[in-house]
């Protein structure tokens, strides 16, 4: 009986890199032809065609089309959880604007936050909340929305604000013991969770401190004049019945996540809480959103307005054009293009993994490792590459985590160095890649293209660089512990 063919067994560098070069070429053409609109369909086509090329390479080494297709389906399946959360966030944005939660955050936020320190304050606030609940997505989908609105009210840069929000959200996500990525990195490398968190402080704290310093220096003196701010507050008050009680849906959301309630039902419950608050406190706004529906009766008119906010978001019509642009958003439908991008990207990542191309490229990267510095640098680049190819931060943590463990042991390094590097690179660069689930989510939620906010996500950019510097300098690298037998022999 002939030996079973092992996927990836007959791969060569040229074959393995063929779908990668094909994708990069198509993405380059997409950006050249469509610019910032490339994520609205052109990039998706590039990912689908690159998946076909990867499947052809798989066929060349004995992986059938059925197996490649199963890999795509499996890859897409990994993203169904995040996709559900993304759709739920669309619902939440719609009802939270309609019920006045987002307008109240803007109304009171422009009074409290100083424009001169707004970017640094946004990063710090998001970091504190994310550290307490362990979820960057939740922070961006709640506080992030309000902070983006406040920035717009001040006339501050939305791209820098988005970068500050992402920086703060991922600081807390990286260090919180409640974060799924933090737990995954420690589990994938077999290290203690709290030892892992303590070891990450070496790279995380200086990176975030440096990011806060730059955000503080970027504080703008060209903020909106007090008269413009007051006019904005009056416009908000004319559309909504503003009050501090409207912040209760936000408090409910944070409490549910803090209590470890699953993210998807927590967001849905919070969206429905917003719908209830809209009925109780903003009936006029609900009726306006429903349109001319007198024939339906008051109950069905209110029901229609709330329902519209859930699937189509809120539509603002006032005498303030800026406010209308700020508040006309949300709804499950607003997230469908992002879902399209995620599905195509995860399908590409799935076929790369099933055909053995991804594993082969990881092994190829390990051949170039010479010392500790190159090992850390290779880990960082591998995680970034996996984030781009597999479009999922969990794969970018778990797969290199499994494959690099022995290499760290051979170099006499504790696996804590690996777990830290996985987070420094895989966790933190995931929101910087437009088609990664995290990058797509942040862009859709904050309303800023990933390529626009990425240069300002300073914390996410600095941490991988500091990790590489530490590696080559031999700084803050924990040596491997000697086995008990070796200690006794010594």
Q: pLDDT: is 17 or 179 the higher one?
A: 17
What confidence score (pLDDT) does residue 4 get?
39
Q: Is 17 exposed, middle or buried (0-12, 13-18, 19+ CB in 10 A)?
A: middle
Average pLDDT over residues 52-71: 92
Q: pLDDT: is 241 or 296 the higher one?
A: 241
Asked if residue 2 has pLDDT above 50, the reply is no
What confidence score (pLDDT) does residue 295 get?
56
Average pLDDT over residues 336-347: 84
Per residue in 150-203, pLDDT (tens digit) is 888 888 899 999 999 999 999 988 988 778 788 888 888 888 888 899 999 999
Cβ atoms < 10 Å from Cβ of 442: 32
Asked if residue 290 has pLDDT above 70, the reply is yes
Instruction: List the chain domain ranges.
Output: 81-332
Range among 107-116, 132-141, 423-432 with highest mean pLDDT value? 423-432
What confidence score (pLDDT) does residue 292 get?
65
What confidence score (pLDDT) does residue 296 get?
58
Tokens read off for 487 = 């200690």
Per residue in 255-285, pLDDT (tens digit) is 887 787 887 888 899 999 999 999 999 999 9
Per residue in 88-119, pLDDT (tens digit) is 888 988 999 999 998 888 888 777 778 888 99
CB 438 within 8 A of CB 431: yes
How far is the C-alpha of 90 from the C-alpha of 141, rounded, in Å?
A: 9
Q: What is the dihedral of CA 402, 404, 406, 407, to 10 degrees?
A: 180
Phi, psi of 110 (to 5 degrees): -70, -20
How far is the C-alpha of 397 from the C-alpha of 419, rounded, in Å?
A: 9
What confidence score (pLDDT) does residue 40 get?
81
What confidence score (pLDDT) does residue 487 get?
35
What confidence score (pLDDT) does residue 108 get?
85
Cβ atoms < 10 Å from Cβ of 178: 17
Q: pLDDT: is 56 or 135 the higher one?
A: 56
What confidence score (pLDDT) does residue 305 get?
92
What confidence score (pLDDT) does residue 297 get?
61
Average pLDDT over residues 364-377: 85
pLDDT band for position 222 (50/70/90)? low
Tokens read off for 224 = 């909106």
Cβ atoms < 10 Å from Cβ of 288: 16
What confidence score (pLDDT) does residue 489 get?
42
Average pLDDT over residues 40-61: 90
What confidence score (pLDDT) does residue 228 get?
66
Asked if residue 225 has pLDDT above 70, the reply is no
What confidence score (pLDDT) does residue 259 get?
82
């Amino acid at each position: 009986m002939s030996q079973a063919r092992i996927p990836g067994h007959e791969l060569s560098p040229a074959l393995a890199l063929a779908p990668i070069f094909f994708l990069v070429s198509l993405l380059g053409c997409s950006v050249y032809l469509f610019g910032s609109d490339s994520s609205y369909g052109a990039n998706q086509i590039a990912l689908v065609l690159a998946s076909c090329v990867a499947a052809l390479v798989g066929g060349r080494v004995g992986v059938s089309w059925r197996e490649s297709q199963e890999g795509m389906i499996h890859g897409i399946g990994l993203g169904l959880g995040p996709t559900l959360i993304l759709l739920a966030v669309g619902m939440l944005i719609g009802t939270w604007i309609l019920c006045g939660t987002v307008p109240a955050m803007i109304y009171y936020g422009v009074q409290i936050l100083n424009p001169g320190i707004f970017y640094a304050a946004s990063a710090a606030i998001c970091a504190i909340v994310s550290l307490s609940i362990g979820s960057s997505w939740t922070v961006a989908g709640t506080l992030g929305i309000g902070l983006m609105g406040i920035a717009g009210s001040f006339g501050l840069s939305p791209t820098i604000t988005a970068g500050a929000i992402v920086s703060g959200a991922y600081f807390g996500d990286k260090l919180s013991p409640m974060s799924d990525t933090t737990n995954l990195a420690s589990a994938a490398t077999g290290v203690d969770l709290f030892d892992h968190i303590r070891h990450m402080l070496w790279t995380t704290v200086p990176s975030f401190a440096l990011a806060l310093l730059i955000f503080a220096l970027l504080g703008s003196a060209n903020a909106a004049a007090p008269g413009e701010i007051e006019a904005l507050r009056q416009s908000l008050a004319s559309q909504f019945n503003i009050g501090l009680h409207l912040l209760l849906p936000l408090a409910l959301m944070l409490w549910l996540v803090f209590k470890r309630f699953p993210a998807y039902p927590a967001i849905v419950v919070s969206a429905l809480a917003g719908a209830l608050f809209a009925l109780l406190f903003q009936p006029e706004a609900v009726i306006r959103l429903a349109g001319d529906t007198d024939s339906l009766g008051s109950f069905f008119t209110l029901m229609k307005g709330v329902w519209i906010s859930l699937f189509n978001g809120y539509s603002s019509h006032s005498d303030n054009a800026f406010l209308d642009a700020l508040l006309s958003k949300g709804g499950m439908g607003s997230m469908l293009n992002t879902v399209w991008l995620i599905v195509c990207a995860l399908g590409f990542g799935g076929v790369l993994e099933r055909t053995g191309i991804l594993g082969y490229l990881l092994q190829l990267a390990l051949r170039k490792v010479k010392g500790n510095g190159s090992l850390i640098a290779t880990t960082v680049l591998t995680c970034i590459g996996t984030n781009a190819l597999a479009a999922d931060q969990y794969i970018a943590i778990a797969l290199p985590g499994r494959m690099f463990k022995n290499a760290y042991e051979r170099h006499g390094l504790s696996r804590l160095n690996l777990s830290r590097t996985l987070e420094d690179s895989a966790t933190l660069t995931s929101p910087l890649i437009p088609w990664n689930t995290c990058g797509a989510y942040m862009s859709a939620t904050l309303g800023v293209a990933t390529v626009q906010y990425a240069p300002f996500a300073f914390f996410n950019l600095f941490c991988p660089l500091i990790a590489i510097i530490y590696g080559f300098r031999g700084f803050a690298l924990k040596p491997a512990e000697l086995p008990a037998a070796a200690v006794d022999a010594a």
